[in-house]
């Protein structure tokens, strides 16, 4: 069966190891299975749900596109485009917002986390962002969405919206109900400084994350300084409980070695945290440093990147505009 893959990354700068392991690495694998049709979107409209410096936004869009390409996404095989260049996304989001229920959005934990204690001051965009995400996905008849575990709840909401639309307008299967594709051997990559927070672009501490553009020395230093604890290397999964920083380091290790946690723990048996950190640094330097170099190389040619995004937006527009016109017809607007 041909899978239709759609996923997006926000151009909020500092793309990191969590974005790579949770999402982008998988994008490349899916693309390289020739049976799949892949669309990868730089979701700039999502990024402005929190303030973005207008002088940096365009640069960050290019940097995200460059990261996709540096990680192996091939613009001749996959569509790469920028969300705001395809107006159907905003139009469909409004319509789907009218289908969605407040109660559904009120359950979204990411809003609660990102809005923090002062919900009243969060933007309306941040609150309704999962509806825009649903529009992104549904416009392309997406069958599978590769995302990090943190986006699972938004995917479930997207499925609810699609089903409600199909039911309300008696259009069975018109909006395709997508499946999430989530990495199995870890849930989320966490901050190197606090294993209870996810590794995030917006964490003010650069030491909390491995950026995809970090140099060899930066990678080695950050891993060396990553928080551990005073106990020994765990021998079993049970011993990982309540040790979030150790759990995180072992999950990072096992996601690169493609082993499950149990196998990794066996391999690491008798080793020190410093041995583990050396192993992780070696793997990261080998896999991440070349990506960073490629990103920097690609960023030198702005015209090339702008052209890729333009060509992608023409292709995406053809698909999305047709779908939004069908949606408008179904609900009686045209």
Q: Which letter does DSSP use for residue 22 in this model?
A: I
Rounded distance, CA 45 to CA 132, Å?
9
Which residues pair with residue 211 across a beta bridge? 16
From 4, 25, 198, 277, active-site residue: 198
Listing DSSP states for 108-168 in one string gives: -HHHHHHHTT-GGGS-HHHHHHHHHHHHHHHTTT-SEEE--GGGHHHHHHHHHHHHHHHHH
Binding map of ligand AQP across residues 103-142, x = CB under 6 A, - = no contact: ----------------------------------------
154-193 positions binding ligand AQP, by CB under 6 A: 188-189
Q: Which stretch binds ligand AQP (CB under 6 A): 8-16, 27-35, 95-103, 160-168?
A: 8-16
Binding map of ligand AQP across residues 271-310, x = CB under 6 A, - = no contact: ----------------------------------------
User: 207 is written with which tokens?
Assistant: 């030491």
CB 47 within 8 A of CB 187: no
194-233 positions binding ligand AQP, by CB under 6 A: 198-202
Task: Compute how many other C-beta atoms are within 10 angstroms of the C-beta atom of residue 262.
Answer: 11
CB 286 within 8 A of CB 301: no
Rounded distance, CA 323 to CA 47, Å?
24
Q: Which stretch binds ligand AQP (CB under 6 A): 80-88, 118-126, 146-154, 292-300?
A: 146-154
Whole-number minimum distance, CB 10 to ligand AQP, in Å?
Answer: 4
Whole-number minimum distance, CB 256 to ligand AQP, in Å?
Answer: 14
Smaller CB distance to ligand AQP: residue 155 or 327? Answer: 155
Which of 5, 9, 80, 252 binds ligand AQP (CB under 6 A)? It is: 9
Which of 151, 254, 264, 281 binds ligand AQP (CB under 6 A)? It is: 151
**Closest residue by beta carbon to ligand AQP:** 22
Whole-number minimum distance, CB 26 to ligand AQP, in Å?
Answer: 9
Smaller CB distance to ligand AQP: residue 61 or 327? Answer: 61
Which of 40, 67, 139, 148 binds ligand AQP (CB under 6 A)? It is: 148
Reply yes or no on whether 322 is catalytic. Answer: no
Could you tell me how many residues of this chain bind ligand AQP (CB under 6 A)?
18
Reply yes or no on whether 121 is catalytic. Answer: no
Q: Which stretch binds ligand AQP (CB under 6 A): 15-23, 229-237, 241-249, 283-291?
A: 15-23
Nearest Cα to Cα of residue 16 among 288, 309, 280: 288
User: 134 is written with which tokens?
Assistant: 């649903």
Per residue, the 3-state secondary structure of 276-322, as one string, reads HHHHHHHHHHHHHHHHHHHHHHHHCCHHHHHHHHHHHHHHHHHHHHH
Reply yes or no on whether 4 is catalytic. Answer: no
Query: What is the crossing angle of helices 273-299 and 302-330, to 10°?
Result: 90
Rounded distance, CA 168 to CA 2, Å?
28
Nearest Cα to Cα of residue 25 among 187, 201, 146: 146
Which of 4, 5, 6, 10 binds ligand AQP (CB under 6 A)? It is: 10
**Which residues contact ligand AQP by CB under 6 A?**
9-10, 12, 18-19, 22-23, 147-148, 150-151, 188-189, 198-202
**Active site positions, annotated:** 114, 198, 201
């Amino acid at each position: 069966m041909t899978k239709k893959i759609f996923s997006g990354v926000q151009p909020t700068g500092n793309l990191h190891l969590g974005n790579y392991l949770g999402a982008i690495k998988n994008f490349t694998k899916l693309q390289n299975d020739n049976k799949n049709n892949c669309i990868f979107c730089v979701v700039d409209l999502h990024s402005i749900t929190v303030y973005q410096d207008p002088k940096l936004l365009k640069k960050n869009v290019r940097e995200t596109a460059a990261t996709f390409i540096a990680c192996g996404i091939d613009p001749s095989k996959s569509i790469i485009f920028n969300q705001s260049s395809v107006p159907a996304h905003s139009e469909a989001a409004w319509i789907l917002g009218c289908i969605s229920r407040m109660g559904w959005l009120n359950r979204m934990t990411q809003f609660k986390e990102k809005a923090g204690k002062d919900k009243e001051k969060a933007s309306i965009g941040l609150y309704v962002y999962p509806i825009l995400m649903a529009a992104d996905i549904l416009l392309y008849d997406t069958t599978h969405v590769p995302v990090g575990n943190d986006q699972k709840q938004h995917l479930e909401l997207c499925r609810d919206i699609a089903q409600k639309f199909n039911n309300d307008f008696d259009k069975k299967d018109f909006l395709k109900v997508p499946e999430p594709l989530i990495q199995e051997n870890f849930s989320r990559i966490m901050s190197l400084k606090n294993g209870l927070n996810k590794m995030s672009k917006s964490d003010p501490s650069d030491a909390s994350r491995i950026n995809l553009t970090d140099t060899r020395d930066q990678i080695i230093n950050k891993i060396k300084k990553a928080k551990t604890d005073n106990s020994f290397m765990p021998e079993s999964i049970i011993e990982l409980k309540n040790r979030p920083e150790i759990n995180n380091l072992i999950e990072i290790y096992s996601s690169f070695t493609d082993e499950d946690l149990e196998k990794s723990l066996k391999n690491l048996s008798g080793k020190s945290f410093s041995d583990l950190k050396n192993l992780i640094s070696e793997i990261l330097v080998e896999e991440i440093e070349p990506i960073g170099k490629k990103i920097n190389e690609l960023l030198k040619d702005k015209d090339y990147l702008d052209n890729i995004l333009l060509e992608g937006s023409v292709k995406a527009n053809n698909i999305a505009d047709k779908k939004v016109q069908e949606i408008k017809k179904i609900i009686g607007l045209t």
